[in-house]
Chain A
């Protein structure tokens, strides 16, 4: 039981929080700009590398430099939108998907060129003793940090969507772009904010992933499939759906290696990535609109 909590459930919640933050961006872009953004994983990677550089320059805590890294990542993403996505706004949306597919490789090659491909740690030399609760429950400080920060960001996201005009406009546009335009919502402004929000949350997700494991140039691409799976599970266009979807996928991935039946892990750890895919395929067959009744195109 304790093994289950310490080695499967808690890491699952940590991974799930990271997926949730990344999936919000995927889901909003899909809902508002109408295309599956293949470059979103690389946005996470870029955010993590900006954070790494800022840490090396300032020597501060990752969370202290996070806002600056978010700003840098968001400006890069806005530049990409201006140069590569905006000219294609009138094209069939599938063309945007191809553009994002190319952008994925372009961003990755810039990162590989600039920072090199070796594995690195965001906070080298930091080995922290886990907190021990009730004698047996162990939770490492970085996991507490990740879960708590992710929660704060999700609450902020909720406030943005429900309390601000622009947030409401975003929800309206994810719901029905034609209707949103008719009611006088400035679509370009909504798109701008969508990119900024997506980039900021992706940066946070990238940094938390780097804190949990390490930083490398393929880290974003490796979680791209779980992010899509989370967005589809939650329902495209729904930020809340993406949060729940991310959490479910993260926990499911970690629980899949628990020895539910017999001695060995239920699923060989090498196939963990297949869990997200299996859930996604099941969702596409049973309920393509997702848990939260998102859009189906």
Chain B
């Protein structure tokens, strides 16, 4: 019975964290999937959201800025706003250049943000991080608090999914696809390409900030290592590419699937003897990298390929086969 309960709690945590990653993957999908913008600094936007929400919602502490004790909802909103502002700044500079420059700049901004969170001890308590971050529903008895938090995360994912599907079908989403496929044509049709790209970049980054804030409240703790590029940035990329770029359901499926694999292999490796456990941790990273390479080479459209907004698709006919589409792209 105890074991069954343990598994039950594990599944809840799996779905909660997987759901938070789904928020991140949906954010990246707006940037990369819809618009073709490369973001190598997901961890940075994630950390901005996490720190902003943490500082606004924690009680007074002599170790870091805070003491505002604001409601968590305010923290989440502020997190999105702050991440969006950072994205707007970087987007304004890089968006007119090719995606490689944006990739380099986002990698840089993530690194600078990590330095700020590490060095500005007065605000962030430096490397020791911020703890005692309030968690929604934490006053409820076990396991209801966990269930309620999972519900909150999954409801967020569902809401975002509905909104993003609307956006994708709306003229806005169709213009984004047009820019991604043929920038010159979109420009010739009179679309303000740079402005629309910045919009997509900012909205995507806002979701990453939201994901970071949710994670901070879930773990009740945040430190500069949260901006370490591997855990956030790379996993989210693998999730989106494996699940299917430009497909919102693919992004969610990829997030839950890759997170389950990642988390399950962690359980397996921690059961090994210490020396081996440390080394197998690197094997996991290697394998997840290899997964990405195989998906890129063999299944470039992911598990759930993009559903195209063609006239045929609107008449509810099956979309073009992936191979034909890739040849066209």
Contact surface of A with B, Cβ cutoff 8 Å: 30, 35-36, 38, 84, 87-88, 91-95, 97-99, 101-103, 105-106, 108-110, 112-113, 224-225, 228-229, 232, 268, 270-271, 273-274, 276-277, 280-281, 284-285, 288, 296-297
Contacts and interface: CB of A to CB of B under 8 A. Distances in A.
Given A98-B237, A296-B97, A268 B112 contact: no
| Main DSSP-derived SS at the B contact region | helix
A101 B289 CA distance: 9
A280 B104 contact: yes
A42 to B, nearest CB: 11
Contacts of A112: 282
B105 A84 contact: no
Contacts of B36: 94
Given A94-B99, A113-B283, A274 B290 contact: no
Residue of A102, A106, A270, A276 ringed by the most chain B CB atoms within 10 A: A102
B55 to A, nearest CB: 20
Contacts of A38: 40, 103, 107
A30 B108 CA distance: 18
A106 B289 contact: yes
A101 B279 contact: no
B296 interface: yes
A98 B296 contact: yes
B40 A280 contact: no
Given A274-B115, A284-B94, 18 more contacts: A30-B100, A38-B107, A84-B293, A84-B297, A95-B296, A97-B99, A99-B296, A101-B40, A102-B289, A102-B293, A105-B288, A109-B283, A113-B279, A281-B93, A284-B93, A284-B97, A284-B101, A284-B105
A97 B98 CA distance: 12
B66 interface: no
Given A98-B292, A105-B230, A109-B286, A225 B111 contact: yes
8 contacts: A97-B38, A98-B237, A106-B285, A112-B282, A224-B107, A277-B111, A281-B93, A296-B97
A274 B115 CA distance: 8
A285 B99 contact: no
Interface in B91-125: 93-94, 97-101, 103-105, 107-109, 111-112, 115, 118-119
Q: Which 7 A-B pairs have the closest CB atoms?
A: A297-B98, A106-B289, A109-B285, A109-B282, A102-B292, A270-B119, A36-B100
Interface in B249-278: none
A81 to B, nearest CB: 13
Contacts of B97: 284, 288, 296-297
A225 B105 CA distance: 9
Given A88-B296, A101-B237, A102-B289, A94 B100 contact: yes
Contacts of A228: 104, 107-108
Interface of B: 36, 38, 40, 93-94, 97-101, 103-105, 107-109, 111-112, 115, 118-119, 230, 234, 237-238, 241, 279, 282-283, 285-286, 288-290, 292-293, 296-297, 300, 329
Contacts of A88: 296-297
A268 B119 contact: yes
A95 B300 contact: yes
A36 B103 contact: yes
Nearest to B92: A285
A113 B286 contact: yes
Contacts of B119: 268, 270-271
Given A281-B105, A284-B93, A285-B93, A105 B98 contact: no
A88 B100 CA distance: 16
A276 B111 CA distance: 11
Contacts of B296: 88, 91, 95, 98-99, 102
Residue of A91, A103, A105, A297 ringed by the most chain B CB atoms within 10 A: A105
A224 B25 CA distance: 25
Nearest to A94: B99
Residue of B105, B119, B289, B290 ringed by the most chain A CB atoms within 10 A: B289
Contacts of A30: 100
Contacts of A103: 289, 293
Given A105-B234, A113-B279, A288 B101 contact: yes
Nearest to B37: A94
A2 B223 CA distance: 40
Contacts of A36: 100-101, 103-104
A285 B90 CA distance: 11
A112 B115 CA distance: 24
Contacts of B288: 105
Nearest to A36: B100
Contacts of B93: 281, 284-285
B108 A101 contact: no
Contacts of B297: 84, 87-88
Contact of B105 (A97, A105, A106, A280): A280
A98 B184 CA distance: 24
Contacts of A92: 329
A87 B294 CA distance: 11
Nearest to B279: A113
A196 B14 CA distance: 44
A106 B290 CA distance: 7
